[in-house]
Amino acid sequence: MTTAPRSTDPVLLSVVIPARDEEGCIAATVEHLHVELRLRAIPHEIVVVDDGSRDRTWSILQSLRERIPEICPVQNLGQHGFGRAVIHGLKNARGDAVVIFMADASDDARDVVVYWEKLREGWDCVFGSRFIKGGGTIDYPWVKLRFNRLFNFFIRVLFRLSLNDTTNAFKAYRRHVIDGCRPLIAPHFNLTVELPLKAIVRGYSWTVVPITWRNRRTGEAKLKIKEMGSRYFFIVMYVWLEKYFSRGDYRRRGDMNSVS
């Protein structure tokens, strides 16, 4: 990780939640998140992106909006995909700090508070890890867990990183990091590695905190390993080529330390 620079404290947190066919859990996810942030007096908005749902997800979001003014439901009317939905949410977010949060309640809302506090310490990015001391997983499918650990090990070796959970979508960024990592090109779950790797390669400061992940209790998992393997590999190599052949053209200028 890099050393946290002095920086202006963020004043509004945008939580971006991509959602597709999540009628069984989206209300509880938004409500629990809102309550946690409200109790901690964190100024926030919750941007939920309906990514072409065929169930009642959109109507539930409209109902939630009537009693939770902080929720900002939007529809992705273009091509669908996890990455496209997140990018659409980032375009609609107003906050100077952003957290990407899963609709299936697999992430812990209390960890969002930790992310916010770390960003206010001056970090550009906060990455959660389920595989460091204090972190954990509950009901992680064995096959996906094996794939996760192997691919994260590959990323660590390739980029010489201490971060061991790059593939985890649940991360936090300051707004200028999002803008500085454009263009974002990953249309699917491979955005979860494109964004943090670009942030690291382009010289933004980052830190890692332990988080807890729980497997979804309702609905169907959207990540399909067979479909995503080549897409993950493409994005990782795309950013690796930038790291070694761009000659620092995209690196943030200033007094940032090198990534260890």
Residue 195: predicted pLDDT = 98
Domain definitions of the chain by residue range: 13-245
pTM (2 decimals)?
0.91
**14: β partners:** 45, 98
Q: Walk along the chain (260 residues) and give the pLDDT tens digit of each residue.
A: 666 665 688 999 999 999 999 999 999 999 999 999 999 999 999 999 999 999 999 999 999 999 999 999 999 999 999 999 999 999 999 999 999 999 998 999 999 999 999 999 999 999 999 999 999 999 999 988 999 999 999 999 999 999 999 999 999 999 999 999 999 999 999 999 999 999 999 999 999 999 999 997 776 665 556 556 789 999 999 999 999 887 667 666 433 333 33
Cis check for the bond before 10: say yes or no (omega within 30 of 0): no
Give the tens place of pLDDT for each residue, 84-125. Answer: 999 999 999 999 999 999 999 899 999 999 999 999 999 999
The DSSP letter of residue 86 is H
How far does CA 226 lie from the centroid of its chain? Answer: 22
What's the rounded Cα separation, in Å, for the pair 102 and 86? 10
Contact 128, 135 (CB under 8 A): yes
What's the rounded Cα separation, in Å, for the pair 127 and 148? 16
Of 105, 53, 86, nearest to 189 by C-alpha is 86
H-assigned helices in the chain = 26-39, 57-67, 82-92, 109-121, 142-159, 175-180, 191-201, 225-245
Residue 230: predicted pLDDT = 87
Average pLDDT taken over every residue of the chain: 91
**Burial (CB count <10 Å: 0-12, 13-18, 19+), residue 240:** middle
What's the rounded Cα separation, in Å, for the pair 149 and 35? 33
Question: What is the 3 state secondary structure string of 120-146?
Answer: HHCCCEEEEECCCCCCEEECCCHHHHH
For domain 13-245, which architecture applies?
Alpha-Beta Complex (3.90)
